[in-house]
Structure 1
Amino acid sequence: MSIKTFELISTTDDGTKLVSYVALPEGASEENPAAGILVAPEWWGVVDHPKSVAERLAEAGYAAVAMDVYGEGKLTTDAAMANTWMEQVLADQDMLMARCRLILNDFSDQLAVNGDNLGAIGYCFGGKVVLDMARDAMPIKAVATFHGNPSPKQPADQNFTAKVLVAHGRADSMVSMEAIEGLQSELDAADVDYTIDVYDNAKHGFTNPHADERAAKNDVDLGYNEAAANQSWENMLEFMKANLG
């Protein structure tokens, strides 16, 4: 199947260029627009992993965009640098959400994308980003997180209308089971429809094939788990099919 990929440049009010990566399925057009999925990367930025996620989504029939929330296409394999950039954007979460909304709008404006039929998936830091997009009432029908940080910008309320799928590793030392239970309570209070899947022997970053290499380089507790990665991907595709078609 041949997919089409290109950079999508969104310019913020202060002139920052957000360099996102779009993958479109074969046959998507103005006459036949595809449901869209926004991909919020791990704290490394739009590196190979989120790009390949966008491409795999396009192969599955979805238009997808890996979102550059840092701006200027910044990416790194250094955890200290990644943490600095993440903390910079988290210091102004309204700005972060404004960037996500801008990318969402620019992506929705693509003729091959059905802007009325959108989902979002996020990895680690990106898990927080996509949950916050739903908490901020962006027009997203379904949100999936993989080893995501669930800490809220503000707690979910009646404006949170997306369905939620959470893929969490039981051996994750960075996002605790207590944090996941906190998310459960938050979503229950807002009457959100959600599913939480917990994968045994799966560490933080379990979906990323580069996790072991990054763990060794940065002395952080990450690990790839092929079984959990494959199962959580299949579950996410089923979830998106049920909610986006």
Structure 2
Amino acid sequence: MTQTWSRRVVVRSLGAGLPLAAVLADATLARAAAATLSEVSIPVAGGQPLRASLALPAKLPAPTVMLIHEWWGLNDQIKAVAAELAQAGYMALAVDLYDGKQAGSAEEAGTLMKAVDAAVAESQVAAGVDWLRAETRSTGKVGTVGWCFGGGWSLRASVARPVDATVVYYGDVSLPAARLARLQGPVVGHFANRDQWINRAMVEGFERAMAEVGKTLTVYWYDADHAFANPTGARYDAEDAKLAWERTLDFYHANLR
């Protein structure tokens, strides 16, 4: 598949109105969308460079969004979401906290996730935010988004470096109030009633901690399970995923434009 052919596929698919979920659920379309991104290497103080994939909108400079992958790794689906954000007018950077590795099973995904060094990952996401804010193609506005493993790191990136808008999809939000006090912009969280891991007790603790330090948080609950926004998984909920994505785009429009 050539780069030119891939771009035509994506323009017809995303640009012509095919829902994002349809692209993510189709391996060929997701691969074509991923092929439109360019690879970048971002310096990290005291460590090896951060791998990332970049999607650019038609009009620059543009507000930016940093995407952080699920426990599967930086795959075509996450890159396809970056391509969708570029279609919506954002400069989208999908970072790779697994250094090129991807999981083919839940067991492999768990192993990769547990192998992540939190201090190293914090340096990496901080470098990603710094890179986006300093980029000449950027307006200087930065948002973050992540799912599952990446949802927790979306929040942690915004603690490590001030950002203008943070979106968490069913990620670990069990941070103490003292750390959350470092947040600058508002946070939106998408959570599922039937999620046994990122459960209501964790989220309610997060709400209390955010209120304690006077930070803006909007929490949305869905009658769904963990990973409800992933159309390649068994727990996908099309209606709730669509609504969560619409809310995410509205949030970015209000805070990054």
TM range (shorter): 0.7 to 0.9
Letter paired with 1:47:
N
Show the counterpart of 1:26: 58
Structure 1 position 185 matched with structure 2 position 208: yes
Show the counterpart of 1:215: none
Instruction: Give the alignment partner of residue 166 of structure 1, picking from 189, 199, 202.
Output: 189
Structure 1 position 49 matched with structure 2 position 74: no
- TM (norm. structure 2) is 0.81
When the two chains are superposed, the root-mean-square deviation of aligned CA atoms in Å is 2.0
Instruction: Give the alignment partner of residue 211 of structure 1, picking from 213, 229, 233.
Output: 233
Deviation at 1:19, TM superposition (A): 2.0
Does the 8 A contact of 1:156 with 1:187 survive in 2? no
SS in 2 for 1:211: coil
- TM (norm. structure 1) is 0.85
Show the counterpart of 1:241: 253
Show the counterpart of 2:238: 226
Does the 8 A contact of 2:176 with 2:209 survive in 1? no
Deviation at 1:14, TM superposition (A): 5.9
CA deviation digits over 1:102-133, x for unaligned, max 9?
2223334433222x200001101111101112
Unmatched 5+ stretches in structure 1: 213-222
SS in 1 for 2:231: coil
SS in 1 for 2:37: strand
Residues 207, 165 of structure 1: CA spacing in aligned structure 2 closer, same or farther, 3 A cutoff? same
Deviation at 1:17, TM superposition (A): 4.2
Letter paired with 2:138:
V
CA deviation digits over 1:119-164, x for unaligned, max 9?
001101111101112222x131110111222122774343211200
Structure 1 position 83 matched with structure 2 position 110: yes
Residues 191, 52 of structure 1: CA spacing in aligned structure 2 closer, same or farther, 3 A cutoff? same
Residues 154, 70 of structure 1: CA spacing in aligned structure 2 closer, same or farther, 3 A cutoff? farther
Instruction: Give the alignment partner of residue 128 of structure 1, picking from 134, 148, 152.
Output: 152
Deviation at 1:85, TM superposition (A): 1.8
Aligned-pair identity in percent equals: 29
